[in-house]
Amino acid sequence: MKLPDSFWVILGLTGLVGLGFIENLLAGHTPVEVSVQNPTSNFSAEAVVEALWQAPNPEFLPDGAHKKQVLYGKELVAHTAEYLGPEGKVASISNGMNCQNCHLDAGTKVFGNNYASVAANYPRFRPRSGTVETVYKRINDCFERSLNGQALDTNGKEMKAIAAYILFLGEGVKAGTTPRGAGLKELPVLDRAADPLAGKAVYLAQCAACHQENGQGILAESGKGYTYPPLWGEHAYNDKAGLYRLSNFARFVKNNMPLGISHETTVLTDAEAWDVAAFVNSQPRPNKSTPHDWPDISKKPFDHPFGPYSDGFSEQQHKYGPFKPIQQAQKAAKKILS
């Protein structure tokens, strides 16, 4: 039996009486990992569901230097272009997009590519670089790829503020865990390859009104940041960005686009999400050379669209699918190794 997530949230909240919870709320921290047993016992013991992550509110922090830094970090995530875009008032190191264009509601939206699990999981080993990455390095990855720009000085005020904000958001999350609702929601792969032509029809019907038929979006009146951000072309994310992988794009769009929807009010079918991802990611965009990515090629994700690969599948199949045969081959290879 499947119930909407809001049901579980409400159930979770009503079940949580007690001063500890209220104190947490006042401090701006809601508990993130809550197991809820249905009190009416119409459900079996399986109906123990972890409540969805909720972002803490930095406005509740005690006044002082830390609060100031966290709020500045939030401002930079929400209005990146104003400070660091082509005409940024601090520096000019990125393409005019805001972090928030992809990390919705300043990285707090459930399944909106939020930052819930960053604090609990960094520094961490990432196979893309083959190194242990700090949160600074991960932030700069997005500057260099998603914002097609340059890395921020890791000792600078801006980097420290962005990191402080992102770490603040994940403060209540237990080390090494990923709360429910974090990042992007899983989406099953299709049995067939994603189809850019079918995706173009989805794009024209569901996306072009805002992102424009030419994919370039619409610049804000101030000229800093976008009313509707670009999806391809010279001002968009480059080909080494996370969204250039079909699975990330499809998972983001399925649960967040057209603007205003959530994972509970999806509009696109799974197939439409994959197809529109294929269409958008078949359009031209900036190229970034990253010769040091994936030092161990066997660790490339199934939908990494650039060879060489440790399996026999083509770049075409790694980009558009069908992905199941690739996933099966990866599983089999892992078994042999272990």
Smallest distance, ligand HEC to C-beta of residue 236, A: 6
* 178 CB-near residues (< 8 Å, 6+ apart): 116, 117, 120, 121
Structure-block tokens of residue 325: 């045969």
Asked if residue 34 binds ligand HEC (CB under 6 A), the reply is no
Is the CB of residue 117 less than 8 Å from the CB of residue 173?
yes
Among 113, 238, 281, 317, binds ligand HEC (CB under 6 A): 113
Asked if residue 102 binds ligand HEC (CB under 6 A), the reply is yes
Asked if residue 207 binds ligand HEC (CB under 6 A), the reply is yes
CA 165 to the chain's CA centroid: 16
Asked if residue 257 binds ligand HEC (CB under 6 A), the reply is yes
Question: What does the angle CA 248 – CA 249 – CA 254 come to, to the nearest 5 degrees?
Answer: 105
* Residue 70 CB coordination number (10 Å): 23
Smallest distance, ligand HEC to C-beta of residue 26, A: 28
Asked if residue 243 binds ligand HEC (CB under 6 A), the reply is yes
The Cα 10–Cα 264 span in angstroms is 14
Asked if residue 255 binds ligand HEC (CB under 6 A), the reply is no
The Cα 66–Cα 53 span in angstroms is 23
What dihedral do alpha carbons 110, 215, 225, 65 form, nearest 10°? 30
Asked if residue 304 binds ligand HEC (CB under 6 A), the reply is no
**Is residue 29 left, alpha or beta, with left meaning phi > 0 and alpha meaning psi from -120 to 50?**
beta
Smallest distance, ligand HEC to C-beta of residue 193, A: 18
CA 210 to the chain's CA centroid: 20
Smallest distance, ligand HEC to C-beta of residue 331, A: 20
Is the CB of residue 299 less than 8 Å from the CB of residue 127?
yes
The Cα 224–Cα 144 span in angstroms is 19
Q: Give the residue among 164, 147, 157, 135 at the shortest CA–CA distance from 71.
A: 164
The Cα 1–Cα 43 span in angstroms is 9
Binding piece for ligand HEC, criterion CB under 6 A, among 63-71, 209-217, 306-314, 320-328? 209-217
Asked if residue 32 binds ligand HEC (CB under 6 A), the reply is no
Asked if residue 166 binds ligand HEC (CB under 6 A), the reply is yes
Asked if residue 180 binds ligand HEC (CB under 6 A), the reply is no
Among 34, 161, 187, 231, binds ligand HEC (CB under 6 A): 231
Asked if residue 12 binds ligand HEC (CB under 6 A), the reply is no
Asked if residue 210 binds ligand HEC (CB under 6 A), the reply is yes
Asked if residue 159 binds ligand HEC (CB under 6 A), the reply is no
**How many chain residues are in contact with ligand HEC, going by CB under 6 A?**
45
Among 32, 52, 81, 97, binds ligand HEC (CB under 6 A): 97
Asked if residue 104 binds ligand HEC (CB under 6 A), the reply is yes
Among 74, 79, 138, 318, binds ligand HEC (CB under 6 A): 138
> 279 to 298, contacts with ligand HEC by CB under 6 A?
280
What dihedral do alpha carbons 134, 140, 142, 145 form, nearest 10°? -130
Q: Which amino acid is at 282?
A: S
Binding piece for ligand HEC, criterion CB under 6 A, among 20-28, 57-65, 251-259, 314-322? 251-259
Smallest distance, ligand HEC to C-beta of residue 210, A: 3
Using the CB atoms, write b or e for 120-131: b if 16+ within 10 Å.
bbbeeeeebbee
Binding site for ligand HEC (CB under 6 A): 77, 80, 97-104, 113, 115, 117-118, 138-139, 142-143, 146-147, 162, 166, 183, 206-207, 209-211, 228-231, 237, 241-243, 248, 252-253, 257-259, 268, 276, 280
